[in-house]
Structure 1
Amino acid sequence: MGRSTAFAVLTAAVLVLAGCAVTPPAPTPPPSSPLTLREALGDPTTVDFCGLLDLPDLDSALPLESRPSPSMGSCSFRTKNALISFGFPEDRAKERLTGATPVAWQDLTRDLRVVRTDLEGQPLLHLVFTDDSSIRVGTFFTSPGSASEALAAATKTLEGAVRSLVAGKQAAHFDYRENSLARLEACSALWSDSDVSARLGTTVSGKGDLSRHRCLWGEQGADRLARLEFGLGPRPKAAANVQEETLGGRKSFVQEISGGCTVRTSHVEGPGANRNQVEHALLAVQAPNACDVARELANVAWPKLPA
């Protein structure tokens, strides 16, 4: 085949291929329908909130002092001067947000809204869905000069989540083991309201969050309250101010804190094999003789945990 013939054949092939080229489809517009929490997150008992973070954006803006750590129903990380927790609010009381301050938010669509509340001087930002359910970013800082850093971190955290959810990104989910604590209802699996009331010495009722992994008996800031949390974290161990005991047949770690007391016991490994986390049940009590009350409650509850 001569050069001119070969060139003609090659040119014809190129023209044929060009003529057969498929016009790329137009980009799919982002969803615009009103967004409920269930549509955004799916099963609230298994959501991995760390998967909704925009880590490069957070790193460049803050930066982070620790990598985000997932737990059941939340994700937490540290900046230089603040601890940030992203997840479900501690109870389902929608009336808490009735008087909240609306926050102007860029590119907020799908009938979502952002509001702010403050708890003991710490700012909390809430993303409220069309069914009035919400997720929140909480902050904790010890120096008044860190308030602006904490609010900036909370804002950046929520910005990344909003971008993902508005665009229709599906939240990641944990695949918990069959005997996981995540399969329990924190408000009803271990005690009744009357069990807790009898030991606190006041009538209380349990309020759980949407994940079902946390329950609060009493009101925040009250002199007498109990809180139970199922979560993920490093394996607990004894320390100078942490006492190892056997309660309810399980190795437990008791710590007295600011007039209150916590009792923690570990369970099976967490769902992420590379995270070096274990599940835990954490009981916190605020009351006179708080550690005595916490031990009593743990002795009742721990035998009911799955083997």
Structure 2
Amino acid sequence: MSPRRHQGMLLLLLCWALLAGCTAQTSAPNGESRPVDTSARAMLGDLRTLDPCTLTDPAALQRYGAVADAGTVSLDYCLLHLKPDDRTLVQLAVGELAGPEDAEPGDPVVQHGALRIAQSAPAPGHCTRRVQFGDGTSLQVSADLLNGEPTVGLCGIADAGARTAADAVQQGRAGHRDHPPNSLALLDPCTVLDTSAVNQVPGLEEARPRAGTAGHQCSWGERSAEFPRVQLQHTAGEPPRILHGAAVEEQVDGRRTVLSVVGGDPQVPLCSAETAHIPFGAVPGQVEVAQLVVAMPGLTGTDACDYARGLARLAWPSLPPANP
């Protein structure tokens, strides 16, 4: 696995009852206020096709150093690199969406137009801001220190990125990618891998699918490293390749597949199975990728890869053909 790859109605009724911001107020021509729909879908459109890079503005980050496009590593977020000086490299990720269930209560929140920005407490080498929509969906902006001293102002960078994203959304500048009909971006991964197959994995007998907010991820199992879990993600970037000795290339259902113990240590019980799909974007060589990750705490990476291989054999036949 590439090291860079790194309810609805009830909620609306609750927001209406609490007057809590599922809508904002704007002035009508006659001076009366009227509600504005600030839900993620109303402001962003089809979440599956959102281009998160349209929510960034390198010029707004120039005061933090030279800004460069860090390339495509995901369908869900845009990656930028900033160099405040010759020894420091900061990575800014903009655009990953999370649902109300992922909210972090207690974080300070500031109003920014019709939206709000939540300020997570910084961690060493990391700072996150979340642009909050009226339906409880949030758009994450994270700054991470890749090289240099931890004194660099990561939260200032994250703040600038979040304000820029919120402005782009409210000014109607959220753009969308034009995916072909057989794109993985348009395919719900929860329909690709049958839950009954996942339930055959020890520890996941009662697991149910949990869909990602943008429709590009599906996961089964507890959100904890102590429990087994499976995730199928549709992503994009470089084609899968063998990066270390704990990875192999195989044909799985006729698709070239790279099975890899994450990190390269065979004792780490985490394995990915990745297969390339169709070309992605305008950069030559980039492709869409189906990535299946299996974690089996208490076992080995080899064991996890055995399960990943078996699940890939069941999932890959449900992927769309590369040439329909």
TM-score (norm 2): 0.73
The separation in 2 between residues aligned to 1:131 and 1:139, in whole angstroms, is 25
State the structure with more CA Rg: 1
Task: Choose the corresponding residue for 1:267, options 249, 252, 277.
Answer: 277
1:175-214 to structure 2, matched below 5 A, reads 175-192=178-195, 194-202=196-204, 203-214=206-217
Structure 1 vs Structure 2 CA RMSD? 2.8
Task: Choose the corresponding residue for 1:251, options 247, 256, 262.
Answer: 256
- Check conservation: 2:56, 2:94, Cα contact below 8 A: no
Asked if 1:86 corresponds to 2:86, the answer is no
Pick closer, same or farther for the CA change 1:298–1:239 going to 2, 3 Å.
same
Task: Choose the corresponding residue for 2:128, options 124, 127, 142.
Answer: 124
- Identity of matched residues, %: 27
Q: Which residue of 1 aligns with 2:29?
A: none
- Check conservation: 1:41, 1:171, Cα contact below 8 A: yes
Shift of 1:145: 4.8
Task: Choose the corresponding residue for 2:107, options 85, 101, 104.
Answer: 101
The separation in 2 between residues aligned to 1:206 and 1:293, in whole angstroms, is 17
Higher helix share: 1
The separation in 2 between residues aligned to 1:217 and 1:301, in whole angstroms, is 14
- Check conservation: 1:48, 1:171, Cα contact below 8 A: yes
- Of 76-85 and 45-54, more deviation after overlay is shown by 76-85
Give per-residue Cα distances to partners, 1:265-301, cap 9 Å, x unaligned: 000111x234542100011111132111111111111
TM-score (norm 1): 0.77
Asked if 1:56 corresponds to 2:70, the answer is no
The separation in 2 between residues aligned to 1:236 and 1:95, in whole angstroms, is 32
Q: Unaligned 5+ residue runs, structure 1?
A: 1-30
Asked if 1:290 corresponds to 2:307, the answer is no
Q: Which residue of 2 aligns with 1:237?
A: 241
Q: Which residue of 1 aligns with 2:49?
A: 46
Residue type of the partner of 2:250? E
Q: Which residue of 1 aligns with 2:313?
A: 299
The separation in 1 between residues aligned to 2:123 and 2:311, in whole angstroms, is 28
The separation in 1 between residues aligned to 2:243 and 2:102, in whole angstroms, is 38
Higher strand share: 2
